[in-house]
Structure 1
Amino acid sequence: MTADRRRGSESSPTRQLLLDETERLMLEEGYAAVGVRRLAREAGVAPALVLYYFKTLDDLFLAVLKRRADGEFERQQRLLDSKPPLQALWELSRDPGLALITEFMALANHREAVRVAFAADAERYRKAQVEAIMRKAESGLPDVSPAALVVATTGIARILGMESALGITGGHEETVALIEDLLKRFYGSSSLAVDHD
C-alpha cells in the first residue's frame, strides 16, 4: 500500500510535467539523457519528487510509453474508422512521431520491461489494424492476407520515415507514388484524398 501512495496521483500536474520533460529530452537528446537529476533540473523540481512519482527510471519510461501508446491507439482507431483502412495506415505510419518510436526501440534493446511493453502495444495496434481491414473489406480484399497488407503498408512507410530522418531520400518519391497509386486502384481514386507531406 505504501508503494502506491509513493507514486502520487496519475493526474497530478507535476507528474504530467515530468512525463512531458522526459519525452522532450528523449526527442532532443535521446533516452540516455534522461536521469533523475537531469529530469528534476529540467522540470524545476527536487530529485526526490521524481522518485516520488516514479520509483525507477523504468517506471518513468513505461509511463511515457503508456501515455503515448494509449493516445496513439485512440487516434489510430478514429482514423481507421473514418477512412479506408490501408489509407489510414499509410497516413499513420508516415506520421512524424517516428522519432519517439525509434528512441523507444533503442531503449527496448537495453531495458526488458520497456521491450515487453513496447511489443505488447505494437501487437495491440497490429491486431486492431488487421481487424479494421477485415471489417471494411466489403468490396473484397486482394488475394493477400490482411496481416501481410498491414505489415507491408506500415513497414514501407516507417522505412521511408527512418531513412528521411537520416537524410536518405533516393527512391522515396517513386515509392510514395507507387503506394498511393496502389491505394487509389484498390479503393478507387474518388474515395481517397492522399495527403502529401
Structure 2
Amino acid sequence: MGPENSKTRFLLLDIAERLMLEEGYAAVGIRRVAREADVTPALIHYYFRTLDDLFLALIRRRSEQELEAQTRALESGRLLHSLWAYNSHPRGAALNVEFIALSNHRKAVRAELVSYAERARELQREALANYLRARGIDPEAIPPLALTVLISTVSRALTMEDAMGLTVGHEEALALVEEYLQKIDGAPAPETD
C-alpha cells in the first residue's frame, strides 16, 4: 500500500470526497477517480486495494478532521451553541447523508461510521456533563447524552431539509431551539474561590 502521507493519496481522497458531494457515493469508483485524477486505475489500487478501502480511508480522514473541529467546539464558553453550529455545517451534513447511504450496502463502512459516532458522542457527553455541572445544573435533570443526540440529530436534519429546499417550520423550530440553548448557555457559571 502507498504511503498515507503521499500528496497523490490526498488528491485521490479529495477527488472521492468531491464526487460524493457533487454526485453521490455511487459516482465514486476506481476508474472514475483515476480518470478525474488523470492516473491509471492501477495507481489507485497502489493506495487502496479495494473501493471499500478508499471509502474507509475517506471516512477516517473526515472523522479525524471532525474530531478536531468538535474538540474546538467543546472548548467554547457557549458550548450548546457551538455544538449546534458544528452539527449544522451543510458540507458535513451532505457527506453524512452519503456515508449513511453507503453504509446500508457496506458493513465495513457502517462499522467505521458507528465507531466514530460513538467516540464523538462520548466526548460530547463528557464535555456537556462538566459544562452543566459548572452552571449548577444536575446532569441527571438534563442527561448529557440525550442532549448531544438531540442537538446533533435535529441540527443535521434541519440542515439536510434546508439543502433540499424544505424550510416549512424551520423558523419556529430554530426559535424554540435558540430559547432552550440560551437558557443553559446564558446561565452564568458559579464563581469559584
| TM beyond 0.5 | yes
Aligned to 2:159: 161
Secondary structure, counterpart of 1:103 in structure 2: helix
Aligned to 1:40: 34
Query: Are the counterparts in 2 of residues 84 and 136 from structure 1 also a CA contact under 8 Å?
Result: no
Deviation of 1:49 after TM superposition, in Å, equals 0.1
TM-score for the superposition, normalised by structure 1: 0.89
Aligned to 1:3: none
Deviation of 1:145 after TM superposition, in Å, equals 0.8
Q: Distance in 2 between matches of 1:179 and 1:31?
A: 32
AA aligned opposite 1:168: L
Q: Distance in 2 between matches of 1:83 and 1:109?
A: 38
Q: How many residues align?
A: 185
- Does 2:106 align with 1:141? no
- Does 2:118 align with 1:123? yes
Q: Distance in 1 between matches of 2:105 and 2:137?
A: 40
Q: Distance in 2 between matches of 1:79 and 1:182?
A: 18
Secondary structure, counterpart of 2:75 in structure 1: helix
Unaligned stretches of 5+ residues in structure 1 = 1-6, 192-197
Q: Distance in 2 between matches of 1:139 and 1:132?
A: 13
Query: Are the counterparts in 2 of residues 85 and 136 from structure 1 also a CA contact under 8 Å?
Result: yes
**Alignment partner for residue 15 of structure 2, among 21, 27, 48?**
21
1:128-175 per-residue CA deviation (whole Å, 9 max, x = no partner) reads 000111122211336221111111111111110121122110010111
Q: Distance in 2 between matches of 1:36 and 1:61?
A: 11
Query: Are the counterparts in 2 of residues 85 and 129 from structure 1 also a CA contact under 8 Å?
Result: no
Q: Distance in 1 between matches of 2:52 and 2:178?
A: 40
AA aligned opposite 1:44: D
Secondary structure, counterpart of 1:82 in structure 2: coil
Give the % identical residues: 52
Q: Distance in 1 between matches of 2:37 and 2:113?
A: 25
AA aligned opposite 1:15: R
Q: Distance in 2 between matches of 1:71 and 1:64?
A: 11
- Does 2:50 align with 1:52? no
1:159-196 per-residue CA deviation (whole Å, 9 max, x = no partner) reads 101211221100101111111111112222899xxxxx
AA aligned opposite 1:167: G
Q: Distance in 2 between matches of 1:103 and 1:80?
A: 26
Deviation of 1:82 after TM superposition, in Å, equals 2.3
1:58-98 per-residue CA deviation (whole Å, 9 max, x = no partner) reads 10000000001101101100111123322221111111121
AA aligned opposite 1:155: T
AA aligned opposite 1:126: R
Runs of at least 4 residues off by over 6 Å: none
Aligned to 1:66: 60
Q: Distance in 1 between matches of 2:114 and 2:40?
A: 33
Deviation of 1:47 after TM superposition, in Å, equals 0.8
Aligned to 1:194: none
Query: RMSD of the alignment, in Å?
Result: 1.5
Secondary structure, counterpart of 2:39 in structure 1: coil
Unaligned stretches of 5+ residues in structure 2 = none
- Does 2:174 align with 1:176? yes
